[in-house]
Amino acid sequence: MSTLLVTGGAGFIGSNFVRHVLALEPAAGVERVVVLDKLTYAGSLENLRDAETDPRFVFVHGDVADRDTVAAVFRDHRPTAVLNFAAESHVDRSIDDPSDFVETNVRGCFELLDAARRHLQRAGDSAREGFRFLHVSTDEVFGSLGETGAFVETTPYAPRSPYAASKAAADHLARAYFHTYGLPVVVTNCSNNYGPYQFPEKLIPLMTLNGAEGKDLPIYGDGTNVRDWLHVEDHCQGLWTVLERAPPGATYNLGGESERTNLQVVDALCDALEAARPAKDNPALAARGLASYRDLRRFVRDRPGHDQRYAIDPTAIRRDLGWRPRHDFESGVRSTVAWYLENGDWCAAVQSESSRDRLGLGGSRSESSRSQDSRLGNAGPGAADAEHPPAPDSAQKDHRGAAIDSREEGCGGGG
């Protein structure tokens, strides 16, 4: 029987993972799921409403970078596995203010690793045998690809944004704890996720909601940046497979084998919106005299240092563990768009405290937004980009009113 400590379990992927493991057959042996989450702007108990009624679920409000908090969680719950999702995950925010990224992504990972090491020292060899520390990471650590090729597990790290650099640092620490202390660590590096419960600063939920409301769809640069897209349910299934079957010290790349330019993603979203809620019946578009969701697309100033292309070669995980994604991108996008359209209350609840200022142009966050964040117990203002995607901003503020000047003021784009 297992007790899973899921850090960042109130965020997008973490909450989907919690839902995934609580729905597994009893034979999976999930006895307890403890979520440790700071509830930053990106985390919400709204994401865990259905888990809250499960007697196996425990929520702890706390910071992974706080040693005493982490020690208390290990002491109180004696986890048999840690899944480290907790992170600052928005590239644009890391450009404006990297400090929270170093604190949570690097220091937080270190505190968890060290608490796990001390826990196993106390618990002895029998506890070490079944224990796993699964550190959830990203393909962004590998840097940017040209037109061909794909990242494999041995691709050298070459992070190019503060976010990617902080994740790379954490990956190195996690592997060092395996080699130095024998901590049973496994690391996964995954491509862009999409699906339900993603905070609407990221490409797919942002564009979906903007489109439905007849707002501009801001696309970074010329829209040719390429990302590989994986449905979050496939990611969760992959993580469970790795947790159960990967040996200590292993590392696996997970990807959806669905490379798309940002422009292709936005077009797929427009098509899915058209199928779900035809533009001719949408008063928000009619009010702007527009006949198609694609008419909402706007090219805006690119993100500084925007990586051109990421692609994952998932051969190793398929060969060793038999994992492969089940969702194809187009049907996954259709069901995701339907989910956001059907869950307006969730969208309103998680966005209620968020601003939509453009982020990621290299300016620091304003003191006023910081003090608001701190009053709310939040880590940052709302803006756009999925782990990689775009950002709303002045463009978004303008969606309801004046048209925006496309390249200078906008946001959004992806990846």
The contact set with ligand NAD (CB under 6 A) reads 7-8, 10-14, 36-40, 42-43, 63-65, 85-89, 104, 108, 136, 138, 167, 190, 192-193, 199, 386-387
> φ and ψ at 365, to 5 degrees?
-70, 145
Task: Give, for 169, the enclosing helix (H) or strand (E).
Answer: helix 162-181
User: What residues are paired with 37 via a beta bridge?
Assistant: 61
- Annotated catalytic, 252? no
Dist CA 337 CA 107 (whole Å): 36
Of the pair 32, 202, the CB lying nearest ligand NAD is at 202
Of the pair 104, 396, the CB lying nearest ligand NAD is at 104
Of the pair 86, 243, the CB lying nearest ligand NAD is at 86
Nearest residue to ligand NAD, scored by beta-carbon proximity: 11
CB of 401 to ligand NAD, least distance (A): 30
Quickly count: other Cβ atoms within 10 Å of residue 388's Cβ.
Answer: 32
CB of 238 to ligand NAD, least distance (A): 11
Please report, to the nearest 10 degrees, the dihedral formed by the alpha carbons of residues 36, 42, 48, 52 taken in order. Answer: 50
Task: Give, for 213, the enclosing helix (H) or strand (E).
Answer: none
Dist CA 113 CA 115 (whole Å): 5
Residues 6+ apart with CB under 8 A from 370: none
- Annotated catalytic, 139? yes
CB of 318 to ligand NAD, least distance (A): 18
Dist CA 351 CA 208 (whole Å): 14
Single-letter code of the amino acid located at 244: E
> φ and ψ at 192, to 5 degrees?
-60, 130
Of the pair 103, 295, the CB lying nearest ligand NAD is at 103
Spot the catalytic one: 37, 88, 139, 216: 139
Residues 6+ apart with CB under 8 A from 63: 38, 69, 104, 108
Residues 6+ apart with CB under 8 A from 24: 30, 240
CB of 25 to ligand NAD, least distance (A): 25
Of the pair 13, 268, the CB lying nearest ligand NAD is at 13
Dist CA 64 CA 244 (whole Å): 24
Of the pair 65, 183, the CB lying nearest ligand NAD is at 65
Of the pair 88, 92, the CB lying nearest ligand NAD is at 88
Spot the catalytic one: 37, 140, 171, 259: 140
> φ and ψ at 149, to 5 degrees?
90, 170
Exposed/middle/buried for 176, CB within 10 Å: 0-12, 13-18, 19+? middle
CB of 345 to ligand NAD, least distance (A): 19
3-state class (DSSP) for residue 337: helix
CB of 206 to ligand NAD, least distance (A): 13
Sign of the CA dihedral with 141 first, then 205, 235, and 227 last = negative
CB of 323 to ligand NAD, least distance (A): 15
Catalogue the active-site residues: 139-140, 163
